[in-house]
Structure 1
Amino acid sequence: MNKIILVLFCGVFALSSCKTQDLISPVASTLPTAIGTTNVPAVVVASLSKNFPTATNTTWNQTSPTSFMATFKQNNAGKVATFQNTGAFLKVGDVIDPATLPTAIIDYLKANYAGYTIVQADAKFTKDGLIVIGYETLITVGTTQYELEFDATGKFTKLETPDGHDEGAGIAQTALLPAITTYLGANYVGYVFKEAESKMSLGVVTGYKVEIVQNNVKYNILFDAVGTFVSVNTGGKGGDNHGGNEQGNGQNGNDVVIAQTDLPAIVGTYLTTNFAGYVFVGAVVEKNTAGTVLGYEVKFTLAGKSYETEFDATGKFLKLN
Structure 2
Amino acid sequence: MKKLTKSYLLSAVAALVVLTSSCTKEAAQSTEDAEIAASKTTASSTSILVAASTSTTTTATAAAKDSLALMNACPPGGKKDTVAFSALSASITTYLTTNYAGSTFQKAFKIANRSGVLEGYVVAINFNSKPVGLKFDASGNFVQVLEQRERPDIAGGPGWHKGGRFENRGGLRGDTLALSALPAAIKTYFATNYATDTLLHAVVTRNDTSYIIISANKGLFATAFASKLVFVKRVQLNPRPAKHTPVDPATLPAAITTYLTTTYPGFVLDKAFAQKQNNVVNKYVVLIDASGTRYAVEFDSTGKFVKSTAVR
TM tier, smaller: 0.3 to 0.5
The structure showing larger relative contact order (alpha-carbon pairs under 8 Å, at least 6 residues apart) is 2
Instruction: Tell which structure's C-alpha radius of gyration is larger.
Output: 1
Give the TM-score, by structure 1 length.
0.41
